[in-house]
Amino acid sequence: MLFNSIDFAIFLPVVFFLYWFVANKNLKLQNALIVAASYLFYGWWDWRFLSLILFSTIVDFSVGLALKNRENPLKRKLLLWTSVFVNLGFLGFFKYYNFFLENFVTAFRFFGHPVNPQGLNIVLPVGISFYTFQTLSYSIDVYKRKLEPTKNFIAFMAFVSFFPQLVAGPIERATHLLPQFYKKRIFEYDKAVDGLRQILWGLFKKIVIADNAAQIADEIFNHSAGYSGSTLVLGALFFAFQIYGDFSGYSDIAIGTSRLFGFDIMQNFNFPYFSRDIAEFWRRWHISLSTWFRDYLYIPLGGSRGNTLMKIRNTFIIFIVSGFWHGANWTFIIWGALNAVYFLPLLLLNKNRINTNTVAEGRYLPNLKEFFQMGFTFAFTVFAWIFFRAVSVEHALNYVSTVFSKSLFTVPYFTGIRHGLQTFVLIIIFIVTEWFGRNDRYAIEKTGLTWPGPLRRAMYYSIVIAIFLFMGKQQQFIYFQF
């Protein structure tokens, strides 16, 4: 079920009504309703994969209870590895089986031993990378004694399957989200209105910015061999705003929807394209995944402690694994490695945490240094996005070679250029709005709150009208494929 669909527009009010007007006096009933709504929401795509979520839920719930009564270190590790094996085993099979098989065949052919094993026609379950990491965080935190294991199976089911962030995050920690299912929720009007505001802004990002940018990016990337370097630069730029509008838009809708039901989930994007270096970018982009890898992989490996070789090793591991998490393709691995190369100089020079505040804090405009820092960071990020978007390494290399050819200095042209100009104007308006809201959790969080009522409502109506006037062709959310 897509957030930007008629199905969800009907589903959400019905669940909201039942939650607050039928089950509002019974916490267990509210949690059970969330489980039922979440399973319906997910099963709308393919009900068969509900068994995967249920099985992972049962395994990790059981592992948590077993860990509570075990003191023997060996038995505790065995229980933890049971959870890891089950969760990553499902993820590895559905997402990476054919990738490893193809590379296995290629390696044997290279050494003169051709083999012909049969691949499998595997359908990737939507959101498996997200809910796998979410439930795995529970087992790890219980193992580390950071969290008491729950005895409430319905609350745990609700935590694992919570529909607003089930299929594309944010990836919540059990230590943050699970305790919220134990507490009585009281409807708060201001909190609900704030949630609706964030949903509206998320829909604008997705429907107006991402879906329009997607049409142009797809046209240019899919026909890149016939376009000039200048046009390919535009394609990469439009993809940069497509993926940001798409994914951060999803996160905004998920966070806003959670707020409607009395839950607070973590911020997943913090205006990343205003970053002054790549370290700051990764503190602001897909925050829930970046911090997950930091806490459960990077720090256990030694983090930035140790000698230079260890720092380099850990940095490449974290970024390459992050790239591989996104998809079973060498393009994602190269994208991750590129970001590691960007990040390493900052880490080795101890400059990876110099930009922790908001850019141009207390000022309307950045100074010249900040402007160029943001420009260079954005340019490096867009370059890496080429590998993320390309269908193969060969496609990416051909794309890059054309960008750095003489045709870079020609006038760009592509099919649908008038639509491109309109989308460019919309993106400029979007950037300006984000810039003036960069101190808040989302761009319009405080916009108009002190205005007279009619003027404030006019702003909201304007956004709604813009969504209907400038909506792009409906696209599936990019991160559903991950």
DSSP label at residue 167 = T
- Tell me which DSSP letter residue 392 carries: S
Backbone CA torsion sign across 187, 188, 189, 192: negative
- From residue 93, give the alpha-carbon distance in Å to each of 88, 107, 136, 319, 468: 8, 20, 17, 22, 41
Active-site residue numbers?
A: 326
Residue whose C-alpha is closest to residue 38's, from 23, 54, 27: 54
How far apart (Å, rounded) are the C-alpha atoms in residues 139 and 57? 11
Rounded distance between C-alpha atoms, residue 262 and residue 471, angstroms: 30
The Cα 382–Cα 214 span in angstroms is 15
Q: Which of 354, 383, 381 is nearest to 370 (CA)?
A: 354
Round to the nearest angstrom and report the end-to-end CA distance of the chain.
16
Give, for 298, the enclosing helix (H) or strand (E).
none
What's the CA angle centered on 59, arms 54 and 64, to 5 degrees?
125
Give CA separation, 482 vs 21, 28, 91, 184, 332, in Å. 36, 32, 10, 34, 11
**How far apart, in whole angstroms, are the C-alpha atoms of residue 325 and residue 310?**
22
Q: Which tokens sit at 301? A: 């490996």
Task: Count the neighbouring beta carbons within 10 Å of the beta carbon of residue 92.
Answer: 15
CA distance 238 to 382: 9
